[in-house]
Structure 1
Amino acid sequence: MSEPSAPAVPARPTTRSHHGDDVVDPYEWLRAKEDEQVLAHLAAENAYTQERTAHLEPLQERIYQEIKGRTLETDLSVPSRRGSWWYYSRTVEGSQYGIHCRAPLADADDWTPPVLSPDVAIPGEQVLLDGNVEAAGHEFFSLGTFDVSTDGTRLLYGVDTQGDERYTLRIRDLASGGDLGDVIPETSAGAMFSPDGRFVVYTTVDDAWRPDTVWLHEVGTDAATDAKLFHEPDERYWVGAGFTRSDRYLVIAAESSITSEEFLVDATDLRSPLQPVWPRREGVDYSLTHAVVDGEDVLYILHNDGALDFELVRVAASDPEGPHEVVLAHVPGRRLEDVSAFRDWGVVSYRREGLSRVGLLDYGSGALTELAFDEPLYTVGASGNPEWAPPVLRLGYGSFVTPGTVYDYVVETGELLLRRRQPVLGGYDPEEYAQERLWATAEDGTRIPISLVWKRAFDAGDGPRPVHLYGYGSYEHSIDPGFSVARLSMLDRGVVFAIAHVRGGGEMGRQWYEDGKLLHKRNTFTDFVACARHLVAEGRTTPDLLVAEGGSAGGLLMGAVANLAPELFAGILADVPFVDALTTILDPSLPLTVVEWDEWGDPLHDPSVYEYMKSYTPYENVREGVAYPRILAVTSLNDTRVLYVEPAKWVARLREVGADALLKCEMVAGHGGVSGRYNAWKQRAFELAWLLDVLGLAD
């Protein structure tokens, strides 16, 4: 049987002209999302991909069943205490979405979460929201807001049924189970009740999908009368809002990727004037939390003014620009990332030696006590701590080999209480797997960390192994060692999984980020190539046994390394890839473009940035006369962050030079892909089956 033919993509040239440079683009017409010919082309691409991967359907099904078989489908989360209730979620076998529940406290002094069983009735359980009920009749469902009022009587929730990250807010009366008349469409995620429950604070976006306005809605009134609390006109900034854990203030923040400005609003009078904290200064990034120390309202502020990896200071809340006390001085290589205040102590999240850390802050002495863990690679963070005065700190923990774990840390005694470890069915034994960190050397001599995990059964000196190398490298976002049930399907077939912690991410501190952005962006790409070459040089793999994966900005990385070193990889999986970066960043009318200029530069007004971006953007640098690895690009029609047109154009251009490139476009999904856990498992099974096929392991 002959191979199916790829869809023909007609060339309809348009010319882009900037800084005296004319670029003819034959595929820009694919941007017309509503055009019937564009939709027909995407359908044809999906049909072609389906034909080309039809032989993998049995393997896809096996992997899907492996993921499903390792997952406890009917399960409950660890309850988190808030007010007079324990809050938790359920999953039920056969159901796509979680069910959000609560049960009353048996004792007001009890901070030990009840051990719940799916088979045992929970006294007083109340279902607050069943995602499966709310999703009925919709192909896509995402919950962007879930907040219960302080008195526990009402639920605020926001739903997106398109994948475009615009949510409709509703308020549910938890006594009757019915919704109030309040309906607020077109909001961002993360709305919240005021502490007294009278108001809802939410944000909306502009035409470029930038959150730009904070609103105040009085419960029971028409949303058309909502008050505008704050509007940010500068298109480089986005806005957000949230109440301090103390319920003393509403904090409104305007932020770019390098600059921030925050304002306080008295939570008892939300229509009162905003109180500026520190005025906006280009390049100064800060965040704050409120505490009460010796009876005084204070702010703990993390900032980078003269402190590259940030320092922590304390100021009077009544005079934020007045005298400040340095609590944690700047230490190069210790990147302070977040501070969170509780009544009696604070929590600082930071990075050191390429790993996440959590420390307890003593308000009196300023001492920071780091919580210790005994694995060489791990990820840890504070989460699920809504209360102001708890005796314990809830932590999330995991590693490549340790499934997701919930701990409660008893602050008074230092005891670490295991509350739950994610069950992995089918006899999973962490001792059968190993994890390690290696260091590659970049072009400029910088040492680049690589984290690896593999199954020990494949240690037996049988030569180079298949390697699945993952990378991201943008926005100071760190890719940390974490557990994945789906990944076991690769490891158990002898594949080594590796993360290249390239510059542009945040793994090694702020300078690591600075050295992989703007006019240093090429470091991100060459670092990844250096990691691949190191794995080959060390004899751990060979190019025909090496596949690469990255998504979003990591998809830009995938496109760039495909052009830089196509000979190093057998296959590349690019998920929602930002591969037509220059075209996007040149157009300020496109979603989120202007806010991205601090990350990539402004090619619209700066010829040097234009020239630099043009030198690396994947779509414009596809090479002729080279053998590209096999490429699979996965995208979503309703993605508002990286538009589907970017991978669609890229795949068309790759085929022009003879590359074996496939495009899979989810027609009802967003940036995060399909919704629903079973749908997500099937999608991941499809991707892993393709990777295994490239590696010659499609048994």
Structure 2
Amino acid sequence: MQAPKAKKIAQLLETHGHQRIDNYYWMRERENPEVIEYLNAENDYLKSSLKSTEKFQEELFQEMKSRVKEDDESVPYLKSGYYWYVKYETGGEYPLYCRKKGGLEAPEEIFLNVNSLAEGKAYYHVGGTAATPNLKTLAFAADAVGRRIYEIHFKDLETGDILPDYIPATTGNFVWAADNQTLFYSKQDPDTLRSFQIYSHKLGSPITEDRLIYEEKDEEFSCVVHKTKSEKYILIHSESTISSEMRFLDSSNPSGEFTLLQARIPYLEYAADHYQDHFWIRTNHEAQNFKLVKAPINSPGIETWEDVIEHRDTVLLEDFDIFSHFLVVQERSKGLCKINIKPWDGTAGHSLEFEDETYTAWISTNPEFDTSILRFGYNSLVTPASTFDYHMVTKEKTLLKQQEIIGGYDSTQYTSARIWAKADDGVMVPISLVYRIDKFSPQGENPLLLYSYGSYGFSMDAYFSSSRLSLLDRGFVFAIAHIRGGEDLGRIWYEDGKMLKKRNTFTDYITCAEYLISQKYTSPSHLYGMGGSAGGLLMGAVMNMRPDLFNGLIAAVPFVDVVTTMLDESIPLTTGEFQEWGNPKNKDYYEYMLSYSPYDNVEAKDYPNLLITSGLHDSQVQYWEPTKWVAKLREMKTDSKLLFLHTNMDAGHGGASGRFNSLKEMALEYTFLLYLEGMIPA
């Protein structure tokens, strides 16, 4: 089957006197039958080209699925006299939300069966659930398209009936007031999908009577609503990339007026929780790596903020949790997570100890105040996801659950490591990697998948994946490049990889790839890269800069048409991201973004083998970006290597819904890699 050839319709785009011709601009027409025809043709081409691997893809899917315990459940947590948990049953794609009253031996109540709700639907996702304080009514948000536009439904937890109340077109973010009747929720702009309005809904009343509580006028800001851990206050949190603003309302007075906590100031970020007579606030006020302050509730403005944990140049304060006798702080030092316990009585604090060289640890679900037990999560590249209870007085650590790998898993067969690559400007970039010991060759010919993201200050921690074993057991090395643009080494790590320093993200990744080759972990003929969304931008930029370094790349839902997208303020996310990428209406930013935008820099040259994935209903990276990119690559590239576009016609940015459907997409990605390595049996 011949590769699809997209028609060309020249579209002149002019900015700052500079002209670009976009021959595939017409692909933005979502309702155009020719667009759908082209997407289907690309899907058919991929299927035809990899037809010989269909049996292997199914076997690989079954292999990955077989490791997952189908009859499984989360660790229950105690709140309001009930133990709450989520479970899956054999044969079910979707979760069951459950609770038990009083104790774990009590009868189980399934209060939401998502398998039933999803029946007959190609896509279905429950975003959030929340019961009223009296536990009589449940609100839940559902998306049946994949565009992250949720309907809010209500269920009577005593009768099991779905109530007639129904709120369409929301973000899926909501919270109950203390009166058990009022629900605060957020709505998005129907075009840009920016979360910009907070409404209140009175149970039993028509939505036409819902009250607009707050509207965020600044297009660079979005807003959400949530509760403090104490549940005493409802908070409206407005936030841009560089600034925050919060309002609060006593939850027992839902018809009252919200009070401003601290007015927005450029480059001031903060987030608050409540304990006793103070708000406890994580902020970057005169603190690049953030600090913890407290402020009296009756006068919470910045002039009253009192330092609780001062700023440190080498430690990033990521999160905190408050208990009646302890303050728990999640920090990041030298790229690794730390959890510190600080008693309120002034006695010496301590830190939890972790053994792996590279790992992920986090504060988990802790809804109760008056307890000495901290629940936290942990995993690493070789340690499956684990949930612990930690006694903050006795320092006793209890493993409650570790992800069970069906068929067995022996961690001693694998090894993980953390190595450092030196960038051109002298900065040391960490790399986490894992491989199976008996499959590893020191001669530099191991196939290696180098994964990364590198944007929005999102730290890419080392994590366990049972599906990844399908690569490791076939001799692959898996590595994560902790590049600038993330927050892995503190706030400076993020700020050195955004705006007019964005190219550091790409050169860091190239540095990591070169270092892995120089250290004989792999070679260019066996090196593969992978990233999604902004990580897909990374793949596109890197392959324009150094296509010779890779045998193949996987770009999932990639953000690749940077300049055109950031010039179009009608597209979801554009205005809210000017402080991440820059605003190309400014000539300096326009020229800088144009220098790395993958779509704008496609040239007549050889490229690596490519698999590019997309979702027709993607609300974050519009489907036409990867589609246009593939069409232009087909027109321009001079090699005969593989170039595939797979568009999920039923899903959005997150891919397929359901517990196992996503594994089919992963099986395709892994098949692509193993096919290039000649590892698929005839």
Q: 1:421 to 1:685 in 2, by over 3 A?
A: same
* 2:538 aligned partner, one-letter code: L
Q: Structure 2: which amino acid aligns with 1:645?
A: W
User: 2:238 corresponds to which letter in structure 1?
Assistant: A
CA–CA separation in structure 2 for the residues paired with 1:476 and 1:455: 31
CA contact (8 A) 1:144 1:159 kept: yes
Between 316-325 and 363-372, report the one with greater CA deviation.
363-372
Out of 393, 400, 418, the position equivalent to 1:419 is 400
Name the counterpart of 1:691.
Answer: 673
Q: Distance in 2 between matches of 1:253 and 1:58?
A: 50
Q: How does 1:467-616 map to 2 (within 5 A)?
A: 467-604=448-585, 606-616=586-596
Is this contact kept in 1: 2:423–2:429, CA < 8 A?
Answer: yes
Paired with 2:385 and 2:321, the residues of 1 have a C-alpha distance of 22
Instruction: Describe the superposition over 1:282-327 as per-residue Cα deviations: whole angstroms up to 9, x where unpaired.
Output: 01111111111xxxx1111111122110111111111112433211
2:172 & 2:483 partners in 1: Cα distance? 30
SS in 1 for 2:603: coil
Amino acid at match of 1:353: K
Residue matched to 1:198: 181
Partners of 1:218 and 1:50 lie apart in 2 by: 51
1:54-105, Cα deviation, whole Å (9 max, x unpaired): 1221221221111111111111221111112111122111111111111111
Give 1:418 deviation, angstroms. Answer: 0.6
User: Does the aligned pair in 2 maintain the 1:56–1:690 contact within 8 Å?
Assistant: no
**Secondary structure in 1 aligned to 2:331?**
strand
Tell me the residue number matched to 1:158.
Answer: 141
Does the CA-based 8 Å contact 1:236-1:597 persist in structure 2?
yes
Matched letter for residue 458 of structure 1: K
| Contact 1:552–1:575, Cα closer than 8 Å, also in 2 | yes
Residue correspondence of structure 1 range 136-175 to structure 2 within 5 A: 136-175=119-158
1:398-477 equivalences under 5 Å are 398-459=379-440, 461=442, 463-477=444-458
CA shift, 1:641, in A, is 0.2
> 1-side partners of 2:214 and 2:350: how far apart?
38
Structure 2 distance, partners of 1:517, 1:643, is 21
Please say if residues 576 and 635 of structure 1, whose CA atoms lie closer than 8 Å, have aligned partners that are also in contact.
yes
Deviates more, 1:49-58 or 1:503-512: 49-58
Alpha-carbon separation, structure 2, partners of 1:242 and 1:556: 32
Match in the other structure for 1:357: 338
- Structure 1 position 129 matched with structure 2 position 112: yes
Alpha carbons 1:434, 1:456 under 8 Å: kept: yes
> How far apart, CA to CA, are the structure 2 residues paired with 1:215 and 1:338?
28
Q: Give the TM-score, by structure 2 length.
A: 0.97
Query: In 2, distance between residues paired with 1:312 and 1:78?
Result: 30
Q: Secondary structure at the match of 1:201?
A: strand
> Which of residues 632, 646, 649 in structure 1 aligns to 2:625?
646
Letter in 2 for 1:619: Y
Alignment of 1:325 with 2:306, yes or no, is yes
Is 1:298 matched with 2:278? yes
Paired residue for 1:379, among 353, 360, 372? 360
Note the alpha carbon deviations across 1:349-399, whole angstroms, 9 max, x for none: 221110122222333439653222111111111122222323312111111
User: How far apart, CA to CA, are the structure 2 residues paired with 1:150 and 1:630?
Assistant: 54
User: Structure 2: which 5+ residue stretches go unaligned?
Assistant: none
Structure 2 residue 269 is matched with structure 1 residue 308: no
Which of 180, 197, 201 is equivalent to 1:217? Answer: 201
- Counterpart of 2:112 in structure 1: which amino acid? L
Offset from partner CA, 1:216-259 (integer Å, 9 cap, x none): 11111111111122110000001011110111111111101111
How many pairs align? 676
| Structure 2 partner of 1:256 | 240
Structure 1 residue ranges without an equivalent (≥5): 107-113, 115-121
Cα distance in 2 for residues equivalent to 1:623 and 1:536: 26
CA-based RMSD of the aligned residues comes to: 1.4
Alignment partner of 2:198: what SS?
Answer: strand
| Fraction of identical pairs, as percent | 39
SS of 1:414 mapped into structure 2: coil
In 2: Cα distance, 1:230 partner to 1:370 partner: 41
Structure 2 CA distance, aligned partners of 1:8 and 1:648? 12
1:243 aligns with 2:227: yes
379-388 or 151-160: bigger deviation: 379-388
Alignment partner, residue 677 of structure 1: 659
User: Is 1:396 aligned with 2:386?
Assistant: no
Matching residue of 1:272: 256
Partners in 2 of 1:459 and 1:562 — Cα distance? Answer: 27
CA distance in 2, matches of 1:574, 1:540: 22
Deviation (angstroms), 1:460: 5.4
> Helix, strand or coil for the counterpart of 2:594?
helix
Report if aligned partners of 2:420, 2:431 keep a CA contact under 8 Å in 1. Answer: yes
Deviation (angstroms), 1:277: 1.5
Letter of the 1:621 counterpart = N
C-alpha distance in 1 between matches for 2:177 and 2:377: 27
Structure 2: distance between partners of 1:227 and 1:64: 48
1:5-44 paired onto structure 2 within 5 Å: 5-44=2-41
The answer to whether the Cα contact below 8 Å between 2:325 and 2:345 also exists between their aligned partners in 1 is no
Residue 654 of structure 1: how far off its partner (Å): 0.9
CA distance in 2, matches of 1:564, 1:104: 59
8 Å contact from structure 1 (residues 309, 510) kept in 2: yes
Report the Cα offset of residue 133 of structure 1: 0.2
User: How far 1:18 moved relative to its partner?
Assistant: 0.6
Local SS of the residue matching 1:677? coil
Q: Return 81-90 or 122-131, whichever deviates more.
A: 122-131
CA distance in 2, matches of 1:609, 1:693: 40
Give distance in 1, aligned partners of 2:338 and 2:56: 39
Q: Structure 1 residue 227 and structure 2 residue 211: aligned? A: yes
TM-score, L = length of structure 1:
0.95
Q: Residue 119 of structure 1 corresponds to which residue in structure 2?
A: none
Residue 462 of structure 1, CA deviation: 5.1
Q: Deviations over 1:96-127 (max 9, x none)?
A: 11111111113xxxxxxx4xxxxxxx642111
* Separation of aligned partners in 1, 2:18 and 2:432: 42
Verify the 8 A CA contact 1:245 1:342 in the aligned structure 2: no
Find 1:53's aligned residue among 50, 53, 64. 50
Q: CA deviation at 1:516?
A: 0.3
The separation in 1 between residues aligned to 2:473 and 2:676, in whole angstroms, is: 17
- Equivalent position SS for 2:632: helix
What letter is aligned with 1:319? S
- In 2, Cα distance between the equivalents of 1:271 and 1:602? 39
Distance (Å, rounded) in 1 between the aligned partners of 2:173 and 2:380: 28
Question: Which residue pairs with 1:118 in the alignment?
Answer: none
> Is the Cα–Cα contact under 8 Å of residues 246 and 342 in structure 1 kept in the other structure?
no
Evaluate the alpha carbon distance shift between residue 230 and residue 364 of structure 1 in structure 2; reply closer, same or farther with a 3 A threshold: farther
Counterpart residue number, 2:634: 655
Aligned AA for 1:387? Answer: E
Asked if 1:82 is matched to 2:79, the reply is: yes
